[in-house]
Every structure is written in structure tokens, then in C-alpha cells.
Structure 1
């Protein structure tokens, strides 16, 4: 298996902040909006250099979405930022009516997604956002895997015409992707080629999948690992090419198993090629307070559980 090493850990939200800093310098049409969470979204560098292109909306997320939609009419590219729970669940009607229905060029950028915001607990964790957002017609859904990829994705979505949901998080995780990568929306990244099982992961779970691949290799199992950073549009070609070779698949995501990446992959397999599939995801429940490591283990999302799922999938071939 290809070895991935790292010398630094950073949170993916800092990758978003770094990407916004670059956009502030390169694209005069980019405007940042925030619902009273500037520090949590790492927007300080952007605001310091571009105070005239920042709108503090306060704790008024619905208004932020409406203002963002209006800004697009004047040719601006609004980046509406807050926690994922507030960016989707609290304002879903406004997103549906003001952004998706009219295909406005709004970028909804959501931090603290999934379980691993940790100690804040179930009221701030959201495990349904991918499902909610991918159901909206025309909405692009992106969930990058580390600091570098989040920075690259942030810069890339400014050039994409149409609404985007960009999902990232708070915990520090290893940086293992290329700092100079070109982010291509809708194009999966082959992390490691293998022959025995396809592990298709997104977001923070990509690093867990890499660790699981190393554990499987120690047992003589050769795992193919694919990073699906873009959940919609989904790279169906990459998925089918992989499962044609391996004959079984495990999906891994920091999300409810209902409505997330696993269901999107299952639809591809039903339509094209049925193979055994195992889910590594939260099993239809809410989260709770705890450290990221504790929560990943308890809810069955860590590398050990990916290994177990891979073995189950292989046994079903």
C-alpha cells in the first residue's frame, strides 16, 4: 500500500480560512458573510484585508441566506459561513426557495460538521446535512479530506457557477494531500490502488480509511481507497471502475448512513453493477458529547470498524 506520512496536523476549517484569504486577494467579487462566528470560520485574514467585502449578519442565519441570494444579482459571489447545523437545518427553507430554486451562485460554507466537533454535543453536531443538501436540484456538495484539500476546494468553488455546499470541520487531522493540488469538482481522487475491496470515503474519514488500509495490508488484504470529496455530482465512473476490479465496497462517512455517501454509492451499484456493500456511518441516531476519537470509536467510524466492514464485504463476494 502507498504510504502517506504527515509532518503537521491542522483543522479543515483553517484550510477554508486560508482559501478565503487567497480569494480575497484574487477575486474582487468574492464577499464573505458570517452569522457571528468569525473566529470559528477563520475569516480574520480575509476581513483584515477586505473589510468592505465582509457582512456580519449576526445570529440571523436565514437573513444571511437571503442577503447572499440578493448579492448574486449584482454579480457578487457570496460565501455564507456558519456551523453546519445552522447552515442547513436552521435555514433549509431559505436555501431551497432563495438559492436552489432560483439557481443563485451562493456558496454555503459549513464548519463543525459531523460528529467530530466533539464536546459541543448533539445539539451542534449534524449528521443529516449531506442528505438534505444533495436532494436540492442543482446543489453541488463537497466534503474535502484535509487542510490542503479544503483550501483548494474553497478557491475552486468561486469559479463554479451555481450553488455549492462546502462541508468541513473543527478537529485537527493530518495533512496528507499535495499543497499545490488542483481541485476538480466531481472528480474522485485515487488514494491507493488495490484488488480485494474498495473503500470509498469522504471528509475526515479518508484518513481513517488510510489507517484501515494499512491494518488490512498487515493481514494480507489489499484495499483500494478512493477519496470522494465531491458527493454531488458523484464520480460514478471511478466507483464502477474500482468495484469491477475488487468485487465489493465499503463506504465511510461522518454522517448518518441514511441519505449520505453510502446511499449515493448504492444507487450507482443498483443501476450498474450489484456487489456487496457495507456502510461505515452513524446508524440512524443523534450524537453526543465526547472527544473526536471517543465518538468515532463509539459510533463505529474509526479505522478498526472500517477494517471489520471490509472483511464482511469480502466474505460476501
Structure 2
């Protein structure tokens, strides 16, 4: 009898609309846009601004509900940030959206000089952070945290899922001062509702405990860390997950306290270059506290990354669940 092997689905380069959710994973659509609408109902100072990317940053949800409070600035990121600074000076709370590569690389000087130096109440919400698109280096913001961490006065946030994205929007609206948030958009995974987790600027959260490994993660990698913990539990490896949604100011007290616990491998996981992000921030905190656990770093390499399908790229660069779990097994010996 002749048999044929079923063909595997062809992986394609991830488009701008691609979701990081796995097949069958629970998601919510456009959590940022819906959360901003809710905040705008209570606060007439909130305005939405974008550089020709309302649809691709979920700001179109806000534009539909509040067309008179929506400003389309065109393909001009420097103008977007400068105008947002002007709006803040007039008492508004501008939420400015674009892709992370454009906000950080094209408008860096304007964030630094117009917004941060004057400590203006501008909220920069930047989509496609890290390796969340397959379109290659021109759209992969693998260096945004390093750039934004270096700016005084700027709060830097990397939410994990749909629930935390909505919570971040509410916290940003209440917070007085400039904020840079990595923006999950589209159909965003929902994971933190199972962990009684609530976002607070500057606070890390221990989502689960474990005797063998402590994974300290932010953003997408917290979801990956939780998946790794479940996967390794079948091998009797107990993995703790500490979620660090605020990159700056860093909750060094909680991080150092967890790293002081003896006998655990510490793994720092981030969807960012190994240069200048969460890993280096935590390493400095541990060095200053004279705490010296065994530390390993899951991060993107210090080079320009390939274009391609996201599952392939996440495996290639070590941030997929399976690759991360295999590396932890290897590090444990």
C-alpha cells in the first residue's frame, strides 16, 4: 500500500499583521486600542497620535471612537514626537504610536531633547519590539531598550500579554512623566489572568516559584518562561518565573532578593539584543549588591538578524520555548 507523508505547512515571512500567539492560544484583539478608549472616557486630556500607522498599532480603535482627539501626523516620526511634546505642554496626555524601530532610531533626538529633557507627559507606544516581525533588520527593534534606558526621566515598560497591556495603559495615563512602552498589538496572547498579576510601574512580580531555576523575564519572554516551566516540570525541574515588566526604573530589591536564594540557576530572558537591555541592567544590580549566582542569558545575538518566518527565527536565535528549555537542561548538566 502506498502511503505519503503529510506535507508540513509552509512557513512564511511574518507580515506586519502577524501575531506572536501560538495556534490555539487564548488571545484578545487590540487590547491597547480598547484600553485607551476606556481611559479616554474618563480623561478628556488623552489624545491619540500616530505616524501613518493607526491600523498597525491598534490606534484605529481609538480614532473610531474619538475622531476629534485623533491626530494623523503622516510618515514623520520626528514631527510626531515633537508635536506630542507640544500637546503635553498644553495640558494634554498624548499617546503616540509607531513602530519601535521608527520611534527609537528616527526620533531619538526628539525623545531625548523635546520630551525627556523637559519631562513632558508623553506616552510613546512602540509596536513590533524585538524579534516580533520577520521583515529583517529594518523593522526588528532589537536595540530599543538599550536606547531608551539611556535617556534620563524616561520610564521604560515591556508588558507580557493582553491583560498587562491594558493595565499598562491605565498606569501610564495616571503616571506624570514620559513613558516608552513596547506595544503588543493585533491578537495578543492572554496568559497572566491565571496568575493574579496586576501591573504597577517599577514592580516585578513572582508568578511561580521553583527550587531549581529562576527565570527573570520581560515581555514576550515571560510567556515563554511560563511555557518552559510547564515543559520542564515533566522532567522534575522546578522553574520559578519572575516577571519584570518595568525595565526602568528596575525593581532591584525584588530581583536581588530572589537571586540571593541559594541553589538556583538564574536565567535572564529577553526579546532584545544581548547588549544594553534587561540582562545588563540586572547584572549591574547583582554586581552592586555583591550577589553572585550562576547566571545565563537568553537574548538575541549582537548582529543583524535574518528575515523569515517567526517560528524559524525564534528557534534560530534561541528565544523559542523548545530551544530555551533545551538550553536550560544543558546548563543544569
TM-score between the two structures when normalised by the length of structure 2? 0.87
Residue 270 of structure 1 corresponds to: 287
State whether structure 2 residue 302 is matched by structure 1 residue 287.
no
- Aligned positions of 1:192-203 closer than 5 A: 192-203=208-219
Q: Secondary structure at the match of 1:158?
A: helix
- 1:170: Cα distance to partner? 4.6
- 1:7: Cα distance to partner? 6.1
8 Å contact kept, 1:146–1:204: yes
Residue 183 of structure 2 corresponds to: 168
Q: Secondary structure at the match of 1:234?
A: coil
Alpha-carbon distance in structure 1 between the residues aligned to 2:138 and 2:253: 37
How has the CA–CA distance of structure 1 residues 217 and 148 changed in structure 2, closer, same or farther, with 3 Å as cutoff? same
Q: Secondary structure at the match of 1:178?
A: helix
Could you give the per-residue CA deviations for residues 100-157 of structure 1, whole angstroms, max 9, x where no partner exists?
Answer: 1111111110011111222x22211110000100111111100100111111101210
Alpha-carbon distance in structure 1 between the residues aligned to 2:50 and 2:158: 20
Residue 211 of structure 1 corresponds to: 227
State whether structure 2 residue 130 is matched by structure 1 residue 114.
yes
Could you give the per-residue CA deviations for residues 72-122 of structure 1, whole angstroms, max 9, x where no partner exists?
Answer: 11111111110000011111011111011111111110011111222x222
8 Å contact kept, 2:204–2:251: yes
Give structure 1 stretches of 5+ with no counterpart. 1-5
Residue 92 of structure 2 corresponds to: 76
- 1:197: Cα distance to partner? 1.5
8 Å contact kept, 1:34–1:57: yes
How has the CA–CA distance of structure 1 residues 170 and 294 changed in structure 2, closer, same or farther, with 3 Å as cutoff? farther
Could you give the per-residue CA deviations for residues 175-197 of structure 1, whole angstroms, max 9, x where no partner exists?
Answer: 11229964211111211111111
Residue 17 of structure 2 corresponds to: none
Residue 89 of structure 1 corresponds to: 105
Could you give the per-residue CA deviations for residues 26-84 of structure 1, whole angstroms, max 9, x where no partner exists?
Answer: 21101111000110111223112211111110001101111111111111111111000
269, 283, 300: which one pairs with 1:252?
269
- 1:299: Cα distance to partner? 0.7
Alpha-carbon distance in structure 1 between the residues aligned to 2:25 and 2:272: 28
48, 57, 63: which one pairs with 1:47?
63
84, 98, 104: which one pairs with 2:114?
98
> How many residues are matched?
307
Residue 151 of structure 2 corresponds to: 136
Q: Secondary structure at the match of 2:31?
A: helix
Larger Rg belongs to: 2
8 Å contact kept, 1:253–1:261: yes
8 Å contact kept, 1:280–1:305: no
Q: Secondary structure at the match of 2:282?
A: helix
Residue 35 of structure 1 corresponds to: 51
State whether structure 2 residue 24 is matched by structure 1 residue 9.
no
State whether structure 2 residue 244 is matched by structure 1 residue 238.
no
196, 200, 221: which one pairs with 2:237?
221
Could you give the per-residue CA deviations for residues 220-244 of structure 1, whole angstroms, max 9, x where no partner exists?
Answer: 2111101111111111122122112
Residue 127 of structure 1 corresponds to: 142
TM-score between the two structures when normalised by the length of structure 1? 0.91
How has the CA–CA distance of structure 1 residues 178 and 53 changed in structure 2, closer, same or farther, with 3 Å as cutoff? same
Give structure 2 stretches of 5+ with no counterpart. 1-23
Q: Secondary structure at the match of 1:130?
A: helix
Residue 158 of structure 1 corresponds to: 173
Alpha-carbon distance in structure 1 between the residues aligned to 2:197 and 2:37: 17
